[in-house]
């Protein structure tokens, strides 16, 4: 199972972050992907599963954005169907929520144990198939156009690309956050919300890339450039529809810094016709 996915030097690349069980947002993304032609790749940077399923419309908190209900089981099927329909062009990277199904720390955003909750919904056979699938997810995707995609901020100390391939996924079920953060590679790779200029520079140099593209954190306005080598963006979770963005890149281009990504050209609205809700 390669943990590093390398994309080709031509074609198009669509990138999205954190769907967390939002099937409608995946379907919208898929329509953009289908319109991008036969040379397009789609990379989803992790946290495919785990969304809100008991929050009612009357008690919907503003910080969760446009209301939706967790459809993780149907989303898993829809992504697998897309992978079968577009072989080797639809890619899922590992996120901390996905990792909780294959040995990572328990996540408890919407339930005390979200992995146990989803696995109960899936039933034993589908759970086994889901775990086998998640175990194949790469940690990082790189493209010759100068970008590296990962779940969280590029803070991992990566000694070598070979070392990346031998990172053990299992055995962290009982880790608290402080301890898991100290786990080499995985701790930062799946949970870091920020990376200093120095640290991200080392991480990206090890990966042979100039700019990190990632989510994990919620950027309410769609995207943020905190360091010139980091573009953090939100496609789905925690946003209102009008602010959700995905990336659309030419794989034969060359990106030097995060400022090379232009709104409307490389950073696109998931729902171009959505308008901001009126506020009080």
Question: Residue 138: left if φ>0, alpha if ψ -120 to 50, beta else—which one?
Answer: beta
β pairing state of 223-224 and 147-150: unpaired
When the beta carbons of 216 and 269 are compared against Mn ion, the nearer one is 216
Instruction: Phi first, then psi: give them for residue 227, nearest 5 degrees.
Output: -130, 155
Q: Give the three-state DSSP class for 42.
A: strand
- Considering only 26-34, 47-55, 142-150, 268-276, which stretch makes contact with Mn ion by CB under 5 A? 47-55
Question: CA-to-CA distance for 174 and 203, rounded, in angstroms?
Answer: 27
CB of 151 to Mn ion, least distance (A): 6
Which of 17, 22, 66, 96 binds Mn ion (CB under 5 A)? It is 96
When the beta carbons of 68 and 255 are compared against Mn ion, the nearer one is 68
- Considering only 46-54, 100-108, 116-124, 222-230, which stretch makes contact with Mn ion by CB under 5 A? 46-54
Does the protein bind Mn ion through residue 50 (CB under 5 A)?
Answer: no
Question: CA-to-CA distance for 70 and 85, rounded, in angstroms?
Answer: 24
When the beta carbons of 95 and 222 are compared against Mn ion, the nearer one is 95
Would you give the distance in Å from CA 279 to the centre of its chain? 29
- Considering only 83-91, 117-125, 211-219, 223-231, which stretch makes contact with Mn ion by CB under 5 A? 211-219
Q: Which of 183, 173, 54 is nearest to 116 (CA)?
A: 173
Question: CA-to-CA distance for 140 and 7, rounded, in angstroms?
Answer: 11
CB of 137 to Mn ion, least distance (A): 13
Whether the Cβ atoms of residue 46 and residue 186 lie closer than 8 Å to each other: no
When the beta carbons of 214 and 255 are compared against Mn ion, the nearer one is 214
CB of 246 to Mn ion, least distance (A): 17
When the beta carbons of 81 and 193 are compared against Mn ion, the nearer one is 193
Question: CA-to-CA distance for 70 and 199, rounded, in angstroms?
Answer: 35
Number of chain residues interacting with Mn ion (CB under 5 A): 4
Which of 91, 216, 244, 266 binds Mn ion (CB under 5 A)? It is 216
CB of 147 to Mn ion, least distance (A): 19
Taken in order 191, 68, 247, 220, is the CA torsion positive or negative? negative
Whether the Cβ atoms of residue 33 and residue 14 lie closer than 8 Å to each other: yes
CB of 21 to Mn ion, least distance (A): 13
For residue 34 the two structure tokens come to 């289908």
- The CA-based angle 134-159-94, given to 5 degrees, is 15
When the beta carbons of 89 and 216 are compared against Mn ion, the nearer one is 216
Does the protein bind Mn ion through residue 229 (CB under 5 A)?
Answer: no
Whether the Cβ atoms of residue 169 and residue 103 lie closer than 8 Å to each other: yes
CB of 51 to Mn ion, least distance (A): 12
Span 51-90, contacts to Mn ion by CB under 5 A:
none
Q: Give residues in contact with Mn ion (CB under 5 A).
A: 47, 95-96, 216
């Amino acid at each position: 199972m390669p943990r590093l996915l390398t994309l080709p030097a031509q074609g198009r690349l669509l990138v999205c972050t954190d769907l967390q069980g939002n099937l409608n947002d995946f379907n919208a993304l898929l329509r953009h992907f289908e319109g991008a032609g036969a040379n397009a790749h789609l990379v989803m940077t992790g946290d495919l599963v785990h969304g809100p399923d008991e929050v009612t419309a009357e008690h919907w908190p503003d910080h969760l954005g446009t209301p939706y209900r967790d459809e993780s089981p149907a989303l898993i099927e829809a992504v697998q169907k897309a992978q079968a329909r577009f072989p080797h062009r639809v890619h899922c990277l590992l996120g901390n929520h996905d990792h909780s199904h294959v040995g990572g720390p328990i996540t408890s955003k919407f339930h005390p144990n979200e992995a146990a909750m989803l696995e109960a919904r899936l039933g034993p056979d589908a759970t086994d198939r889901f775990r086998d699938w998640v175990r194949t997810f790469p940690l990082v995707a790189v493209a010759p156009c100068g970008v590296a995609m990962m779940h969280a901020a590029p803070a991992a100390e990566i000694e070598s690309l070979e070392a990346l391939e031998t990172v053990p996924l299992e055995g962290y079920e009982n880790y608290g956050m402080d301890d898991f953060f100290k786990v080499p590679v995985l701790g930062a790779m799946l949970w870091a919300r920020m990376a200093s200029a120095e640290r991200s520079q080392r991480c990206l140099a090890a990966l042979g890339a100039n700019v990190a593209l990632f989510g994990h954190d919620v950027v309410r306005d769609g995207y943020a450039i905190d360091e010139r080598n980091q573009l953090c963006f939100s496609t789905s979770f925690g946003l209102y529809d009008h602010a959700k963005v995905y990336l659309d890149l030419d794989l034969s281009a060359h990106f030097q810094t995060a400022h090379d990504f232009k709104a409307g050209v490389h950073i696109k609205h998931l729902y171009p016709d959505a308008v901001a809700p009126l506020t009080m």
